Amino acid sequence: MSKGDLLEFHRRAILAENEIDQLKKEIDVLKTLLKPTTSSSKELTELQQENAKLKHRVAILTRYVESVRAKEAKLGDKTEQMISIYDELETVFLAAISKTYPDLVDPPVVITTCQDAKFGDYQCNSAMGLSKLLAGQGKKTSPRDVANAILSNVSPTPLIEKLEIAGPGYINIFLKRDFGLDALKTLLKAGRVPPPRVDKQRVIVDFSSPNIAKEMHVGHLRSTIIGESIARLLEYLGHDVLRLNHVGDWGTQFGMLIAHLQEKFPDYLTVSPPISDLQGFYKESKIRFDTDEEFKKRAYACVVQLQAFEPDITKAWNMICDVSRREFDKLYERLDVKIIERGESFYQKMMEVIVKDLEAKGLLEEDEGRKIMWGEKPNTGIPFTIVKSDGGFTYDTSDMATLKHRLEEEKGDWLIYVTDAGQAVHFQLLQSCGKRAGILKHQRFSHVPFGVVLGEDKKKFKTRSGDTVKLLDLLDEGLKRALDKLREKGRDKELSPEELKAAQEAVAYGCIKYADLSHNRNLEYVFSFDKMLEDKGNTAVYLLYQLTRIRSIARIANVTPEQMKKAIETTPVTLDHEKEWKLAKVLLKFPDVLLKITKDLYLHTLCEFCYEISSAFSEFYDKCWCLEKNSVGEIVKVNMGRILLAEATAIVLEQCFYILGLKTVARM
Ligand code: ARG
Condensed to tens digits (0 to 9), the pLDDT of residues 447-495 reads 999 999 999 999 988 877 777 888 999 999 999 999 999 999 999 999 9
Phi/psi of residue 362, each to 5°?
Answer: 70, 30
316 CA from centroid of ligand 1 (Å): 23
Ligand 1 center to 520 CA (angstroms): 21
Q: Is the CB of 397 under 6 A from ligand 1?
A: no
In a 13 Å sphere around the CA of 36, the CA atoms on its Cβ side amount to 0
Quickly count: other Cβ atoms within 10 Å of residue 23's Cβ. Answer: 17
Contacts of 360-365 spanning 24+ positions with Cβ under 8 A: 361/437, 361/438, 363/433, 363/436, 363/437
- E-assigned strands of 381-515? 384-387, 414-420, 444-450, 453-454
**For the CA of 220, the nearest atom of ligand 1:** 4
What is the C-alpha separation between 414 and 601, in angstroms, rounded? 13
Q: Is 399 in the pocket of ligand 1 (CB under 6 A)?
A: yes
Residue 246's contacts (CB-CB under 8 Å, 6 or more residues apart) are 206, 209, 342, 343, 344, 402
Q: Which atom of ligand 1 is nearest to the CA of 423?
A: 12
- The C-alpha atoms of residue 541 and residue 509 are separated, in whole angstroms, by 11
Short-list 525, 517, 520, CA closest to 610: 517
pLDDT under 70: residue ranges of the chain: 1-8, 10, 35-39, 71-78
Distance from C-alpha of 412 to C-alpha of 541, rounded to nearest angstrom: 37
pLDDT of residue 125: 96
pLDDT score for 75: 63
Task: Please name the helix (run of DSSP H) or strand (run of DSSP E) that holds residue 281, with its range, or none.
Answer: helix 278-291
CA distance 663 to 668: 12
- Tell me how far the alpha carbon of residue 435 lies from the centroid of ligand 1, in angstroms: 20
Q: Which of 509, 473, 485 is closest to 664 using CA atoms?
A: 509
Tell me if 91 sits within 8 A of 140, measured CB to CB. Answer: no
Query: What is the CA(465)–ligand 1 centre distance, in A?
Result: 28
Among 195, 219, 223, 218, which Cα is nearest to 207's? 223
Q: How far apart are CA 36 and CA 31, in angstroms?
A: 10
- Phi then psi dihedrals of residue 595, to 5 deg: -65, -35
How much distance in Å is there from the Cα of 419 to the middle of ligand 1? 7
251 lines ligand 1 (CB under 6 A): no
398 lines ligand 1 (CB under 6 A): no
Q: Whose CA is nearest to atom 4 of ligand 1?
A: 210
**CB hemisphere CA count around 326 (13 angstroms):** 10
Quick one: which atom of ligand 1 is closest to the CA of 248? 1
Judged by phi (left if over 0) then psi (alpha if -120 to 50, else beta), residue 527 lies in beta
419 within ligand 1 shell (Cβ under 6 A): yes
End-to-end Cα separation, the chain, in angstroms: 46
417: Cβ below 6 Å to ligand 1?
yes
> How much is the pLDDT for 21?
81
- Alpha-carbon distance of 115 to 120, in angstroms, equals 9
Q: How big, in percent rounded to 5, are the helix, strand and coil portions of the chain? A: 60, 10, 30
Mutation test of ligand 1: which of 419, 433, 471 has the most ligand atoms closer than 8 Å to its C-beta? 419
Report CA torsion sign: 557, 561, 565, 566: negative
With CA atoms as reference, report the closest residue to 123 among 163, 161, 153.
Answer: 163
- Cα–Cα dist 311/305, whole Å: 9
pLDDT confidence of residue 77: 66
Q: Give the CA-trace dihedral at 414, 419, 423, 427, to 10 degrees.
A: -10
Nearest CA to ligand 1 atom 6: 209
Q: How far apart are CA 219 and CA 450, in angstroms?
A: 9
Does ligand 1 come within 6 angstroms of the Cβ of 518? no
- Contact 82/183 with Cβ under 8 angstroms? yes
Q: Is the peptide bond preceding residue 449 cis, with omega within 30 degrees of 0? A: no
